[in-house]
Amino acid sequence: MRWFLSFLFLGFLASVNALSSSGNRLLVVLEDAAEKGLYSTFWGDLTARGYDLVFESPKNDKLSLFHLGERAYDHLLILPPKSKGLGPSLSPKNILEFMNKEGNVLLALSGKSSTPSAINILLDQLDIHLSPDRSAVVVDHFNYDTQSATEKHDVLLLPRPGPLRNDTKAYFSGDGLLAIPRAAPQTLGADSSLVAPVLRAPPTAYSYNPKDESGSVEDVIATGSQLALVSTMQARNSARFTVLGSVESLQDKWFSATVKKPDDEKGTSTVNREFAKQLTSWTFKESGVLKVGKIEHYLAEYPEEVNPKIYRIKTDIVFNIEISEYDQDHYIPFEVPALDALQLEFTMLSPFYRLNLQPTQRTENSTIYSTQFTVPDQHGIFSFRINYNRPFLSNIEEKHEITIRHFAHNEYPRSWAISGAWVWIAGLWSVIGGFLAFVVAWLYSEPSSGALKVKKTQ
């Protein structure tokens, strides 16, 4: 009976474990507690995935993201406040410090209320920029819901996004139609490799302030695909920050709503619930998390001697790295996208080699990538480097130093093994042979018989 109760207890612990690879503590910042019921399905989905939700108001003086110098929560979800700020506990400095400690943040905005200046300051530091007009929303006169936005056209109907590029994985793709009501427009910095859009506005969309009495749209800052409705930023320590332009898309009524495009007579059900699951899954590190296992390098002739500290020039080296990808609740073998490459750099001050790693072995939850190369004719301190940074995948940065030595005095090839030296060897021995022949001829030669005899006189 005791073992049966223990089994039930372990099963209970497994059922309440979060699917996230970084923890289950989720802080939800919600100013108006009355609005909590509008997102009941969303909260239920997060709880069912094992998250421990803590609801706090930004006006709470005891609210803190840290405890004894460490983060008090693993993830942070901020819903748009009605007041002008988020309070001292949620200042841009504290949120950035939370990310420095590998915390993940999901920030939801709304075009119905103006964005606090603290959020603008925070997003500017992440190279995500909101419209200078804080009350602007994204409007599209061709892709809108004819039932809920007949006049304003501010409820956009869009297909789910595909891959960002051909060499990236699709964590948000699928079939169906998304309803994005009253989204706050975003523009992304062109020079940052850490920022990536998830959902862009259609080409016919633009930002517009419905409170503007003039109704002029001539001075639009960005239009079409320049506007992002959902964007992400992944820091170098793999902490994730997601900006959702429409918090209303998480409400219950849009999770199961029937919408109609201008050219649609029957209507279509939205897939906001599934998209919200994908978005939170990525933000809270349930997907797209890479883990490095064993890293091995050895001489091709002696595979049993793994990871030596010193190699000799002009020898063949084999390099192996084991990589896994976290998927919901377990690790699976990581597959590099078809048009991408995982590369190894063999470098001193600059790379001597930059080689593509090829999958050579797959285990139950990992893939082993390998390559083989010849050490260059240069001695010194070298390093194996892998720096793999791709959108929506956690970063891999590995560096392992080794020493490359030159030939020892007894490792150089002998002169007779070098065909080009045979001429000089022959010349040397010809000199020696000629000298020996001269000595022998000198020692064994006799004087002639008719030699003159010299008489001594007194």
pLDDT, tens digit, 9 for 90 and up, residues 195-206: 999 999 999 999
pLDDT band at 286 (very low <50, low <70, confident <90, very high): very high
pLDDT at 452 > cutoff 80: no
Q: What is the mean pLDDT of residues 154-176?
A: 83
Domains of the chain, each with CATH number or no CATH: 19-284 (3.40.50), 289-405 (2.70.50.60)
Residue 63, classed as helix, strand or coil, is coil
The two beta strands, 104-108 and 177-181, are unpaired
Residue 213: how many other CB atoms lie within 10 Å: 6
pLDDT at 14: 39
Mean pLDDT of 103-119: 88
Whether residue 400 contacts residue 354, with contact meaning beta carbons closer than 8 Å, is answered with no
Using DSSP bridges, classify how beta strands 25-29 and 75-78 pair: parallel, antiparallel or unpaired. parallel
Overall average pLDDT of the 384-392 stretch: 93
| The predicted structure's pLDDT at residue 202 | 92
Closest among 314, 312, 298, 454 to 384, alpha carbons compared: 298
Condensed to tens digits (0 to 9), the pLDDT of residues 298-334 reads: 999 999 999 999 999 999 999 999 999 998 889 999 9
Q: How many CB atoms lie under 10 A from the CB of residue 226?
A: 18
What gap in Å lies between CA 314 and CA 404, rounded to an integer?
10
**Predicted confidence (pLDDT) at residue 194 exceeds the cutoff of 70:** yes
Q: What is the mean pLDDT of residues 402-411?
A: 91
Q: Are 232 and 199 in contact (CB under 8 A)?
A: no
- Is pLDDT of 176 > 60? yes
Cα separation, 14 vs 237, whole angstroms: 28
Radius of gyration of the chain (CA): 36
Q: Give pLDDT tens digits for 129-152.
A: 998 877 789 999 999 999 888 888
d(CA 433, CA 241): 84
Residue 115's pLDDT is what? 83
